[in-house]
Amino acid sequence: MSDAVDLIEQDPLIFAVIVTGAGEKAFVAGADIAEMLHKDVLEARAFSSLGNKVFSKIENLSKPVIATVNGFALCGGCELAMACDIRIASNKAKFGQPEVGLGIMAGFGGSQRLSRLVGAGIAKEILFTGDMINVERAYENGLVNRVVDSSEVLKEAKTIAKRIATKSPLGVSFSKKAVNDGLNLDFERALSLETDLFGSLFSTNDQTEGMSAFLEKRHSLFTGE
């Protein structure tokens, strides 16, 4: 997965990414428990560190990433979905961080991303009980962006990806950076970050093309430059 993200980052012809599971049963059902059972402390730390590194790489990819959750998204599966920018869920999807039932806790960013998405109170309930939540509750609490019929989930994601791909790649990338980085700053510093990014775009061909196309009443032809 890490190698795939590197290739995507370097490919100028890719404007948006969709992550999905195979079939309708699961997005990702979690790690191999048998493989984890006999890890020692150092091995477990390395395992968590690797997962966090890969998911942070997805989160910080300059291109938008859409998760299509087509079934169970549990443990690392839920954490992977949360590392994506937008989550489109099947009406059969279920989410959860059931690690406490295994004597451990979320280790791939779940405790941090979940609280940022749904708030500390809801996140603690999900993390402490280990209970799965259905897609309706996930939507109500902001864990997913949209809920569609299971037969339409990939189609919906592709529709959104295609809409994003018609916009300025630099404008989208800078918007993603403003949100991600701004969440870790106080409000005034976050506004300063936005100002810097906004100003930087006025040195790009995309800005000239986008505004010229608007005034000339034609479709923009963005190049990401």
Q: Is 99 a catalytic residue?
A: yes
Q: Which candidate in 9, 43, 59, 79 is catalytic?
A: 79
pLDDT given for residue 32 in this prediction? 81
Domains of the chain as residue ranges with CATH: 2-164 (3.90.226.10), 168-215 (1.10.12.10)
Residue 194 is a catalytic residue: no
Predicted pLDDT at 26: 84
Please, what are the averages of pLDDT over each run of 10 residues along the chain (225 residues)? Answer: 95 94 81 87 95 96 96 94 97 95 95 96 97 96 96 95 96 97 95 97 96 94 90
pLDDT of residue 33: 86
| Whole-model pTM over 0.85 | yes
Question: Which of the residues 35, 43, 99, 136 is marked catalytic?
Answer: 99
pLDDT value, residue 24: 75
The helix-helix angle for 187-200 and 169-182 (nearest 10°) equals 170
